[in-house]
Amino acid sequence: MKAVFLSCNQSMYDAVIDIMNEMSIKGFTGWEELIGQGSNDGEPHLGNHAWPTMNSALISVMEDDKATEFMARLKQLDEDNCKQGLRAFAWEITAAI
């Protein structure tokens, strides 16, 4: 099993949820408002007067094959919306309750 964590511009959150629904990924924990700044380029998302946009994030645990497909779909979403910002990471889960 894999845990997939992603952070993205709030404007992309609904598109991420749509992908999850299409893939029948049901279990997740989400954070609607986070601040952040990309490591490569793009504008900070700090929720202040100078940088008013915000990020959202979520984490979900799923089977390996589903995680592979989910990451591929997230990569395509990021490429289609490169100015918005999306980062995703997958970790191996060794135990779960």
How many whole angstroms separate alpha carbon 5 and alpha carbon 28? 10
44 falls within a domain: yes
97 falls within a domain: no
36 falls within a domain: yes
6 falls within a domain: yes
Segment (H or E) for 15: helix 13-22
Please indicate whether residue 92 or residue 45 has the higher confidence score (pLDDT): 92
Q: Which residue has the tokens 């990471």?
A: 89
How many whole angstroms separate alpha carbon 26 and alpha carbon 52? 31
Is-above-0.85 flag for pTM?
A: yes
How many structural domains is the chain composed of? 1
CATH code (residue 46): 3.30.70.120
How many whole angstroms separate alpha carbon 46 and alpha carbon 66? 32
Range of the domain at 71: 2-92
Asked whether the predicted pLDDT for residue 76 surpasses 80, the reply is yes
- 34 — pLDDT class (breaks 50, 70, 90): very high
